[in-house]
Structures are given as C-alpha cells and as structure tokens.
Chains A and B, each alone.
Chain A
Amino acid sequence: MTAAITAEGLGKRYRSKWALADCTLSVPAGHVVGLVGPNGAGKTTLLGLATGMLAPSTGTIEVLGGRPGSGRAQLARVGYLAQGAPVYAGLSVADHLRLGARLNPGWDAGLARSRVERLDLDPRQKAGTLSGGQRAQLALALAVAKRPELLVLDEPVASLDPLARREFLQDLMEATADQDLSVVLSSHLITDIERVCDYLIVLAGSRVVAAGPSDELLATHRLLSGPRRDPGSLPGGVQVISASHTDVQSTLLVRSTGPVLDPVWIVSEISLEDLVLAYMSQATGRGRRNHLEVQR
C-alpha cells in the first residue's frame, strides 16, 4: 500500500523565513491523521504543500505516490478543505453541487445531495449567507463527494461552535468509515484530534517534532515523578521531552521504547494533550530546546 504522504527534507521558505523546515515524514494510508501544533507552526504550509497549492522550496513531497496537484488524476485523488472553508459567496448551494459535478469525473451526486439534505440546507440559498458551520459542512460535502482517496482538512472546525464541531466531526467519521478514506486533519484543539485521529503529527517551530500512531506515541511516553535529580542520570534509550523541578521533586515527560524500571520514579500514563503540550512547549523554547534535534 502506498503511503498517503511521504516527505523528504521538505521545506518552504517565504523570503528569509522558513514556514516549514527539514520535514521528513511517511504517513501510511488508511489513517485519520491529526496535525497539531501552535499557530504559525507550519500546519497550513504542510497541507498546502500536500495539495499542491504551494511549491516546496527544498525537498520533495509525494501524495499517494504522485506529485501534488500535478494533473487531473492527482487532483481527483485528493480532496482539500482549506482553512476557513472558502465557498463562493455569490453562488447558491445548488450551484456549488453543480460545480462539483461539472469539475470532477468521480463525482458522487447521490452522496452530495444526501449530505446537503441532511444538513437542511436550502439549495437556493447563497453560500455567502450560510452560517460558519453550514459553510464548513457544504465545503466538506464538496470535498467528500468528489470521492478522493485522501481528504485534507485545514482547521475545519476552528470557526464552529462546540455543537457544530461535534456534528462536523461525526459527519467526517461517517464519511471515512463509508469510503475507505485517508484523512489528514489539522487543528489546535487537541480534544478534537484525540476524538477522531489515530495517527499524530506534532509540528512546532516550523519542524516536525513527533509523528506516529497515537497509541504508539502514548505507549512510548511516560510521566516520571520522583525526588529531585538530574535528568542526565536516566538510562540510555530514554529521552526527556520536558522536565519541571521543585526544590525536592522532579517531574519528567520522557520518551522510552522500553519500560522505565528505576524504582525511584513513579511512572504514570499520559494523555495525548500532555504529550502534545510537552512537545509544543519544548519547541517554543519554554522547555529544553537542546532536545529538539534529538527528537526528530
């Protein structure tokens, strides 16, 4: 099975500033991939590169084995819901569906219609007068009904209220279950990612700091607490992601392939949120910056 996304040394520079640097990734197909990171970490840039909206400054990226946006066939295989769910304000809901039907050979008219009907959208309503949630749903209907193999969603729920957000994600889950679809979804809301994603990419400071299946990431990361001591005294194979110390106690978030056996430490499981926050704070300089390079 080809990978959904493979990147080699991928970077994108705007003038002198790197929006994404030195990104090497291989995301297997068949996952719902969560792309998390603080604002400005490069999430949109990575997704733009994956859809061919942007051209890489360095390195290469392949999506489903092809160059992003390289032709009709490649375009047909990837659905993209851009940030803010752009739709044509002057076109009606029905016009948008017609647009999808005219421009996509694999268009699933029944699917599109049933989604729009379920959302109670008036086909004659102009898209410009839809609410944020309805607009996102319409844009999702367009992206899904073209029957892509990979669906790329950039902050699809950012502008939605909690109820609409849950409905949207539920909808998305149904679509992926029905269609055998790979999904890459960016968000800065970790709870949403946790609910729907089984694969995680953490971006911080324009770099990929962690990537892997969620359960694997959770299984290899531990929270250690014990009497204060130097993190350097940990055995090999254990990497400290973040550390906080009080006068008497140290709390470490570590990555370790094997169990940590030292009885000094109280070892506890961590949540996905703890894990993501630890990586983010590490990369933004609030944690231990020198581990940035080690982690990749």
Chain B
Amino acid sequence: MIWLTWRQFRAQAFTAVAALAAFAILLAATGPHLVVLYAASGLSGCHPASCAGLASRWLTGLYIGHTYFMLYEFSIAVILLAPAVTGLFWGAPLIAGELETGTAALAWNQSVTRTRWLAAKLAVGGLTAMAVTEGLNLMQAWWAAPIGRAVGLGATSTFFAASRFNSFAFASHGITPLGYAAFGYALGVTAGALIRRAVPAMAVTLAIFAAAQIAMPLWIRPNLLPAEHAVVPVTSLRTITLQGGGPHSSQFHLGTENLPGQPGAWILSAGTVNAAGRATSTAPAPCTTRPSEESTHAFIECLASQGIRESVAYQPASRYWAFQWTETGIYLAAALALSGYCFWRLGRRLT
C-alpha cells in the first residue's frame, strides 16, 4: 500500500520539493543582506534608552526600502496559504478523484481493506503537508530573525508585525502552521468524501478553511485563556489612539497598543474608567473648557488629574507558547476527528 501511495503521490511530492527549494533559494539569496542591514543599523550595541526608537526607525527604513518589506509579506503569505493549497490540491481530490475516475473500484478491490488504503493515504499526504508548511515556517523564521530582534527591542511598526500575537505573525510562526496543515488536508479529504467531486470539494475546502482562519483570531483565540485585567494611569501609556475628545468634544475614546510593565502583551481591549472604576467616554468638564491651543498631551494630563484611568484586558506575553500549543492542539484534534469520520464513512461503503 505504501508503494502505491508513494507512486500516486510522487508528482505532488516533487512539486512540494520544488516549491520548498524555490522558497529556500529566494530567502537564502536575500537573507544575508538583511543581516548586513541589521548590523549596519547599530541596533546590536544600542543604548537601552534609545533602542526602541532606533529599531522603529530601522523597520520604517525597511518598509521605505520596499524590497525586504515585500519579501516579508510574501513569505508570511506563503506560510499562511500553504495549508490551504495542500488541503485543496492534495486533500480534496484524494477520495473524490478516485470516485470521479472510477478508479476507486480498482483501488478498493485489491486485497487491501479501505481502512488500510485510507490510513496510508492520510499518513503520507497529511504528514507531507505538515512537513512542507513547517519547513516554510522554519526557513522564514531564520530569514526574518533580524526583524524579530528589532521587534524584541520594543520597535513599534504599522507595517511589520510589532507583536508576536499579531494575527498574521501568530499564524505563521511557531507550531500553529503544523495544525493548520493537518486540518486543511483532513478537511479536503472529508469534503471530497462527502461531495464526491473534486472541484466542488476544493471550493468547499477553501471556504471552510478560510472561515476557520478568520474566526480563530477574531473570536476564538482571544478566549482560549481567561484574559488578565489591569487599570493604569493614562499618562503611563506609550502609544495611544485618541478618538474625539480634546477641547472641542466631551466624547472621547482612548485606546492603546501596549501596557506599561507588560512588554509584548496582547491587548484585547482598552478603554477609560473614571475614578469610581466605571467605564466612561465623557470627558469631565474641566478638560473640555480649556483653550483650543492646548495639545492632546494636555488633555490626557487633564484626564489623569480628574482620576480617569485606562482599563486594559490583555494576555501576557508569557502565554505565547500556551496559546501556540492550545491552538495547534485544537486544529490537530479537528484533523483527527475529520480523519475518523472519513474512516467511518469509507467503512460504511461510500459509493
């Protein structure tokens, strides 16, 4: 059975090796220069007080320089898309293709049970899909290490993922790509077994996979572990976003992307509370009657003097690997459940 599986999978395996090689060449050709750029930036020996600003400027420079920003985005996109591609093109046609061409009757009437047939197919295709995705991931991690170090120095950037919890960064690093690849492949196989035609099965696989990848960071991941809460002075926030407020309006919203004393924390939500601890978005009277030439800074100072503080719900940076393992576990469990369903369905005579 392994022989047949390999013989039928050979073309896909060559494609995968070629894709990995192309990715490796691209990154190997550009990676060393990124290291040179990092060394030239003076970040490796920077004064702790100026590191964050220097790192931010270096990242902005990379963005303006264009090439490395494009490569960065491209490499992340490749890692995020790889599980979908393997699920679509390897998973979906696995059973559906055999049914469409009628070769299922040939395959399932040799002296090998369908269970063994499926086990070999799932193992070879699924493990290869996982290996490919993780291979891409490791290569990218090596390539992007200088950018990661700059982020680690406290750089803020709207272009590069400034936090490891950033949706794109989280999904393209660590071990989560393994889970996505296993899930995408099992999803494709299951869709093929249910729909019995390869192309519609591919479409359904893509739709469900995309829905899962959107739902996970938006609604599921933030709730995997109970959030921590902190109330901090508004003046202690390093980066804030102020909507409304100031001298002309009594309504305001104060958001933040960092939390003092919690570098790298994942901010889930942030908002102001008054001295009584109640959420508020109405500026106290003294802060709205000031002359218009006074700055946002003064407005914030005024809020602080009126006892208004920022309440933040967050996940500490130390939970990064707990989140990685939990999410990977969820996807692997889903992949196993889908595989189990395929075994059950094939055992019950599919056609």
Contact = CB atoms under 8 A, between A and B. Distances in A.
Interface string B1-45: 101100110010000000000000000000000000000000000
B101 A103 contact: no
A65 B110 CA distance: 19
B7 to A, nearest CB: 6
Interface string B107-122: 0111111100000000
A228 B104 CA distance: 55
Contacts of A124: none
A105 B112 CA distance: 10
B114 to A, nearest CB: 8
Given A82-B102, A86-B101, A146 B111 contact: yes
B239 interface: no
A72 B106 contact: no
Contacts of B114: 69
Given A53-B349, A86-B101, A79 B109 contact: yes
Contacts of A90: 8, 11
B105 A103 contact: no
A103 B7 CA distance: 13
A172 B348 CA distance: 32
A75 B349 contact: no
B106 A98 contact: no
B109 A99 contact: no
Contacts of A106: 111
Contacts, number: 80
B171 to A, nearest CB: 34
A78 B103 contact: no
A287 to B, nearest CB: 33
Interface in B81-139: 101-106, 108-114
Best-buried of B103, B110, B348 by chain A (most CB within 10 Å): B110
A138 to B, nearest CB: 10
A190 B112 CA distance: 34
B351 interface: yes
Contacts of B111: 72, 75-76, 103-106, 146
Contact of A75 (B3, B7, B101, B109): B109
B105 A53 contact: yes
A84 B102 contact: yes
A78 B108 CA distance: 11
B110 A99 contact: yes
B349 A88 contact: no
B105 A75 contact: no
Given A53-B349, A54-B349, A55-B348, A100 B110 contact: yes
B106 A103 contact: no
Contacts of B101: 86, 88-89
B102 A54 contact: no
Contact of B108 (A53, A139, A142): A53
Given A95-B7, A102-B1, A139 B106 contact: yes
Best-buried of B3, B103, B109, B114 by chain A (most CB within 10 Å): B109
Nearest to B10: A90
A106 to B, nearest CB: 7
5 contacts: A48-B351, A82-B109, A86-B103, A86-B105, A104-B110
Interface of A: 48, 51-55, 69, 71-72, 75-76, 78-80, 82-84, 86-91, 95, 98-100, 102-106, 139, 142-143, 146
Across the A-B interface, give the 7 residue pairs with the lowest CB-CB distance, nearest first.
Answer: A82-B105, A86-B102, A103-B110, A55-B349, A76-B111, A80-B109, A104-B111
Given A53-B108, A83-B102, 19 more contacts: A51-B109, A55-B348, A75-B112, A80-B105, A82-B102, A86-B102, A86-B105, A86-B106, A87-B106, A88-B8, A90-B11, A91-B8, A95-B7, A98-B3, A100-B110, A105-B111, A143-B109, A146-B110, A146-B111
